[in-house]
Structure 1
């Protein structure tokens, strides 16, 4: 029987001890550095164990040590300072009552989003090397054979840490690509697949570029991919994953740009694996884009559709998961499909719509659905 592999987008719920350490560092409060390191090592190992027990084949460190998938770069690179105004997604602005309810209920995470105010340069790979060591130790302890690690794309950094230093957006993207190149290569050279998080290719349409037409936005997104591909030029695409999304939050999402319009941009990324949302109510129908544009999917691309949602506490039935997987195996074949999740379960440290135990129940049902689909091949 050919087994359909399982994975997910990357971030997973952190323990309260981890969150407390992360925010102590974030808020420049005193903390024991040795205890911080020990906590991250232990928590990462436990995160790997839970993934293995849930049946996940390609695991991650859960982004344990990071405050978020994008703004962590402010701690590892020079050139960032201050804070910036929050710019809610366009769909939430259309429903101010709902936006206020989210804010009043603590439904919006609080963390610094500094601006780029100087030259972006790496402070060294020390924190990344610690993350890699923790992930590898967890894999060895719990029998995981394959793993990936997330890194921010130049485009998503430019979305959340906006430019006040470089003369143009293109210059800022180029500087970010040059700075991030070593991080990307360090991950791959460690024998771990690299995942680039690229919500800028969809989310930023209704968050930062709402004044543009769809065609104008796609031109911007293509610039982002150009910068990303430049940073990846010395890495084998067989070790690279790219994730696109429209924002990992429960909301109306009525301003989301269609997959149809960003499909060529996604396919142009220098990555073998493409991860995308296809379970939530706003994008579940878009599997047909892949069916109808099959000829435009490069032969070496592997599709990693989200077959479980990451914004609700419903645990999908394994049969539904299998049906979602089969829509894509019917398009490109089982050897070019990996079952994934729509987004991460812990996008921001200490914040997540899904209960931590339910997050792992969703990963378990993901693997059960993949087993059902595999048995039917």
Structure 2
């Protein structure tokens, strides 16, 4: 792994806005505006731009900004056999909104790498540590209609094996941290504890890199913000799953804090893990001040050791404008620097 010795290294949780020449901005599942070879070149150009903006903002652990994919779950699934995108069914995703999804019609498998060439391209562009996001097994299951296995657990185990294959090749391509996105972990608590974390352990089996799980309250889209309004004055979902997650082999837990009602003391339940603390609200167009970010980090430091705290965003920023996302990245970096200086006594 690329050496990461900096205190409070900053990172993003996932997606960053796409340039308007590549896809319709501020929208999930946005259609590509290019095709064939032009699309491939356009994706690589967008990846370069996304990387540059992270570097300009001072982000320490960089990513592809998910520039080469339309969606954090379905783009991976598109490359698998056993899933038919022409056979669609309407299902309730995350137990809160209806969506038309593809169907699992046979045994799922991965015939070829999905993101490995993109990861190699990113690795060629920078010597910084890079993080790559993959959908987690449970969240993949929750984004499909299963006609074949007719068992969420069985399908999740198959996806875990497939993800493990992809992850091992990503490590060979030079990825330093592999993150599994599991927003479903904040909803299906019994399943998470019964088999969800076990499937995640299968997905990270034998990986020679740092591993992370990202558990948030979702993109800043209406279905998610409406759901948050029903959760009351305290969001204690993490309390249901953190004790078992703390005992798992996952290295890093990425969670949501900024402008949320998550009691900060819940982080104590994963003491010993590295924690990517979401200090940027992706559901708001208001750009945080560096001091607001710093305050969130100070609160988190009561429950996580400084050498294990990674300032981060709450979730992906694809639905935001590039200007707002840029401002938020700058605030994240500057806020982390404030606290870093406080911890080291460097006030120059």
Q: Assess same fold via TM > 0.5.
A: yes
1:30-69 pair list within 5 angstroms = 32-69=35-72
Q: Does 1:246 align with 2:251?
A: no
Q: Does 1:318 align with 2:284?
A: no
| C-alpha RMSD of the superposition | 2.7
Change (3 A) 1:145 1:43: same
The counterpart of 1:282, out of the listed 253, 257, 261, is 261
1:200-349 pair list within 5 angstroms = 200-202=184-186, 204-205=187-188, 217-236=189-208, 239-249=210-220, 250-253=225-228, 254-255=230-231, 258-283=237-262, 286-291=263-268, 293=269, 297=271, 299=272, 301-346=273-318
Runs (4+) of structure 1 exceeding 6 A deviation are: none
SS at match of 2:163: helix
Change (3 A) 1:91 1:190: closer
Q: Does 1:372 align with 2:314?
A: no
SS at match of 2:178: strand
Question: 1:45, 1:137 within 8 Å by CA — same for their partners in 2?
Answer: no
Structure 1 residue 32: Cα displacement: 4.1
Q: Can you list the C-alpha shifts for 1:289-332, whole angstroms capped at 9, x where unaligned?
A: 124x4xx52x3x11111011001011111111111112222333
Structure 1 residue 257: Cα displacement: 5.6
The two structures have a TM-score, normalised by structure 2, of: 0.85
Question: 2:294, 2:339 within 8 Å by CA — same for their partners in 1?
Answer: yes
Structure 1 residue 252: Cα displacement: 4.5
Question: 1:225, 1:268 within 8 Å by CA — same for their partners in 2?
Answer: no
Match of 2:132 in 1: 149
Comparing both structures, which one devotes a greater share of its residues to strand? 2
Match of 1:19 in 2: 23
Q: Structure 1: which 5+ runs fail to align?
A: 94-109, 206-216, 347-351
Matched pairs, number: 326
Structure 1 residue 133: Cα displacement: 2.6
Match of 1:120 in 2: 108
For the residues of structure 2 that align with 1:232 and 1:151, how far apart are their CA atoms?
A: 11
Comparing both structures, which one devotes a greater share of its residues to helix? 1
Structure 1 residue 146: Cα displacement: 0.9
For the residues of structure 1 that align with 2:322 and 2:140, how far apart are their CA atoms?
A: 27
Question: 1:241, 1:272 within 8 Å by CA — same for their partners in 2?
Answer: yes
SS at match of 1:79: strand
For the residues of structure 2 that align with 1:26 and 1:246, how far apart are their CA atoms?
A: 21
For the residues of structure 2 that align with 1:63 and 1:268, how far apart are their CA atoms?
A: 30
Match of 1:199 in 2: 183
Q: Structure 2: which 5+ runs fail to align?
A: 344-348
For the residues of structure 2 that align with 1:87 and 1:41, how far apart are their CA atoms?
A: 34
For the residues of structure 1 that align with 2:287 and 2:312, how far apart are their CA atoms?
A: 14
Change (3 A) 1:53 1:151: same
